[in-house]
Amino acid sequence: MPKLSRYLPVLDWGARYSRADLSGDLIAAIIVTIMLIPQSLAYALLAGLPPEAGIYASIVPIVLYALFGTSRALAVGPVAVVSLMTAAAVGEVAQTGTAGYAVAALTLAGLSGGMLLALGVFRLGFLANFLSHPVIAGFITASGILIAVSQLRYILGIDGGGHALPEMLTSLLRNIADLNIPTLIVGVGATAFLFWVRKGLMPLLQKTGLPAGAVNVLSKAGPVLAIAVTTAATAILDLGDNGVAIVGVVPQGLPPLTLPSLAPELLGTLLLPALLISVIGFVESISVAQTLAAKKRQRIDPDQELIGLGAANIGAALSGGFPVTGGFSRSVVNYDAGAKTPAAGAYTAVGLLIASLFLTPLIYFLPKATLAATIIVAVLSLVDLSIIKRTWTYSKADFAAVSITIALTLGLGVEIGVSAGVAVSVLIHLYRSSRPHMAVVGRVPGTEHFRNVNRHKVETRDDIISLRVDESLYFANARFLEDCIYDMVARQPAVRHVILMCSAVNEIDMSALESLEAINMRLRDQNVSFHLSEVKGPVMDRLKRSHFLAVLTGQVFLSHHLAVSALSASLVDHPPDGFADLHFVARDQSCDLP
C-alpha cells in the first residue's frame, strides 16, 4: 500500500530496520538526550513556562514526528525563536505563571498543529516560500538579539519584561537597582564558561585530532557541565537564600494529558500568532531537514513534513507542552552522532521520559541564571548582521525588506516584524513585475536578429514600432503595457504598425488579454495596426480559445523578422500621406555597445 506509507513513512523505514540502524540510533539518542535536558528547561523559561513544560514538549512530539515525518535526522522540540514567539503571543492573553498561561501555550501549540496539518493535507507547503531568505535571516537575527536581551534579567537577578527592545531595555533600566550580586556571578560565570566551550574548547578538541562529529558532540555537553557545577555550587553555598533565583520543585512523572482551550475569543486572538509560528517553525525545520537529507542524497517531502510537524504540535498540545519544531543544532548533533532513522527520536523520548521521572529532583537548586546563560550563548550564534551588508551590495529591494524586518522585529516585536517582512517582500515583487522590462528593438544590420535599440546599433523605421516585453503578461503589468504602447504611439505620429514581440511571454492571463484587445481597438481608432510575433505554443493555444485573434487588426507572425519584412513591403506599396522616408534609419542615441 504505497499510499499509506506515504502518509506514514514509519511503515517504510520500519520494515527495513536493521541492527546497525539500532546501534547508530541508540548512540545518537543518548547524546541528544543529554543535550536536550538543559535546552528544554531553558526554552521553557524563555517561553514563560515552568521548566517541566520544556521536557514534556520534547517527549510526545518527538515520537509523533518519528511516525509521520520524512527526515531521518530531524530532532523536534522547543526551539529558541518559536519559544520567544510563544512568549510574545501568550503574554498578550495571560500572566506568566498562571494556569491560564499554560493553557494558552498548549492551545497555541494545538492551533499551530492543526494549521500545519491542514497545510500539509492540502499541499500548501509552497506558502512558506513567501518568506524570502533575507527576511528570514533578518528575522532570526533580530529574534536572537531580542532573546539574548530578554534573558539579561535572569543574569542580573532583576525583574523585567516586554516583547520588543524598547520595553525590554526600559524595564531593565528601571529595575537595575535591584541587581543581585551572587546571581550576577553565577550568570556571568556560566556565560563566560559556555562561550569558552564554544570558542576555546572546540578548537582545542579539534587539535586533538578527534573527528569533527565527536568534537561537535562533546562541545554540546558544555551546558550540562555548567548546570551541574552551578547547581552544586548553589546547593552547597545556599545561594538560593542569597537571592539567586532557582528552578525549585519540578514535578516528577509522566507528561500529563492536557486539553487545549476551545474558548472562541482565545482562539481568535491566537490565530495570527499560531499562523506565524507555524510558518516560521516550518521554514526553520525544513531548512535543517533538507540540508541533512541532501548530504546523503535522501529526499524529504515538504508537504509530509508539514504533517509530521503538525502531529508533533498536536502532541505537544495534548501533553502539557508548547509549540515545537525541528531545531538546528540538536538535529546536526543527532546527525553527527550517527542517527540512521527517526527511531533515534523515539529513543530520545525514552531518555527524556526517564529524566522527567527520576532526574527532576536533581535540578531543584539549578539557578535560572545558568539557563539564561545557555540561551544567550545559543542564540548569539543566530545573530548575523552581515545580511544587511550583503543585501545592500547585492540588491536594494532585498535590503529594504531585511532592514524593515529587523527594525520592526526589534522595535515592535516578532509578530509585526515577520508580517511586515513578508508583506514588504511580496509588495516589492509585485511592484517589480508590474513594471516589466520592455525594449524597443531594431534589426541588427544585415541579420534577422532584433535587439534593444538602447544597447545595440540597429535599424528602425518611423512607421513601425517593434516592442519586446521580457515578462509574462498578467493583471499587474497589463495596464503598464497599455500605457507604454499608447505613450509610444502618441510620441511617434508617423507610426502605422505596432508589433509586440512575445518571445519571453510564457503566459497571457485574462486581464492581459483584455489589455491586448483594448490596445488593438485604440490603435485601430488611430489607424494603426497591431501585430504579435514569436508567440509561444501554449500561449497561442490559449489565444485561439478567445476571440482576440478574430478582432486583431494585424497578424500573428512566426518570427519578428518575417513581421517587419512583410509590413515594410506593404508600406512601400501604400506610402501614407506626408510620409516619405521609408528607409531603415540607424538610431545612434544611447547605444551602449562598443
Q: Which residues bind a copy of itself (CB under 8 A)?
A: 126, 128-135, 290-291, 294-295, 297-299, 302, 390-391, 393-395, 397-398, 425-426, 429-435, 437, 470-472, 474-480, 482-483, 486-487, 489-490, 493, 504, 506-507, 509-511, 513-515, 518, 522, 525-526, 542, 545-546
Shortest spacing between CB 451 and a copy of itself, in angstroms: 12
Please name the helix (run of DSSP H) or strand (run of DSSP E) that holds residue 31, with its range, or none: helix 19-46
Listed residue (281, 321, 258, 285) closest to 115, CA to CA: 281
Q: Which is nearer to a copy of itself, 179 or 494 (CB)?
A: 494
Shortest spacing between CB 295 and a copy of itself, in angstroms: 6
Shortest spacing between CB 42 and a copy of itself, in angstroms: 29
Torsion sign across C-alpha atoms 470, 472, 476, 481: positive
Q: Which is nearer to a copy of itself, 121 or 232 (CB)?
A: 121
CA-to-CA dists, residue 524 to 489, 504, 518, angstroms:
12, 25, 10
CA-to-CA dists, residue 197 to 16, 67, 224, 378, 543, angstroms:
39, 35, 12, 12, 66
Q: For cell 538543559, what's the residue?
A: 38
Please name the helix (run of DSSP H) or strand (run of DSSP E) that holds residue 440, with its range, or none: strand 438-443
Shortest spacing between CB 136 and a copy of itself, in angstroms: 9
- CB of 234 closer than 8 Å to CB of 240: yes
Shortest spacing between CB 289 and a copy of itself, in angstroms: 12
Shortest spacing between CB 424 and a copy of itself, in angstroms: 11
Shortest spacing between CB 377 and a copy of itself, in angstroms: 26
DSSP 179-202: --HHHHHHHHHHHHHHHHIIIIIH
Shortest spacing between CB 552 and a copy of itself, in angstroms: 16
Q: Which is nearer to a copy of itself, 30 or 428 (CB)?
A: 428
Shortest spacing between CB 278 and a copy of itself, in angstroms: 17
CA-to-CA dists, residue 165 to 9, 384, 406, 411, angstroms:
43, 17, 11, 6
Where b means 16+ CB within 10 Å and e means fewer, 176-195 reads eeeebebbbbbbebbbebbb
Total residue length of the chain = 594
Shortest spacing between CB 51 and a copy of itself, in angstroms: 36
The torsion defined by the Cα of 414, 416, 421 and 422, in degrees rounded to 10, comes to 110
Q: Which is nearer to a copy of itself, 28 or 508 (CB)?
A: 508
Q: Which is nearer to a copy of itself, 52 or 305 (CB)?
A: 305
Phi, psi of 78 (to 5 degrees): -65, 135
Q: Which is nearer to a copy of itself, 445 or 538 (CB)?
A: 538
Q: Which is nearer to a copy of itself, 203 or 538 (CB)?
A: 538
3-state DSSP call for residue 290? helix
Shortest spacing between CB 129 and a copy of itself, in angstroms: 5
Q: Which is nearer to a copy of itself, 318 or 478 (CB)?
A: 478
Please name the helix (run of DSSP H) or strand (run of DSSP E) that holds residue 585, with its range, or none: strand 585-586
What distance in Å separates the CA atoms of residue 258 and residue 275, rounded to the nearest whole number? 22
Centroid of chain to Cα 39 = 23
Shortest spacing between CB 486 and a copy of itself, in angstroms: 6
What is residue 251's DSSP assignment?
A: -
Q: Which is nearer to a copy of itself, 363 or 439 (CB)?
A: 439
Q: Which is nearer to a copy of itself, 101 or 139 (CB)?
A: 139
Shortest spacing between CB 522 and a copy of itself, in angstroms: 4
Q: Which is nearer to a copy of itself, 159 or 483 (CB)?
A: 483
Q: Which is nearer to a copy of itself, 89 or 137 (CB)?
A: 137
Centroid of chain to Cα 499 = 42
427 Cβ contact list (under 8 Å, min separation 6): none
- CB of 461 closer than 8 Å to CB of 495: no
Beta bridge partner(s), residue 467:
440, 500
Q: Which is nearer to a copy of itself, 503 or 555 (CB)?
A: 503
3-state DSSP call for residue 559? coil
Burial class (CB in 10 A: 0-12, 13-18, 19+), 511: middle
CA atoms within 13 A on the CB side of 235: 14
Burial class (CB in 10 A: 0-12, 13-18, 19+), 251: exposed
Shortest spacing between CB 390 and a copy of itself, in angstroms: 7
Q: Which is nearer to a copy of itself, 244 or 500 (CB)?
A: 500
Burial class (CB in 10 A: 0-12, 13-18, 19+), 411: middle
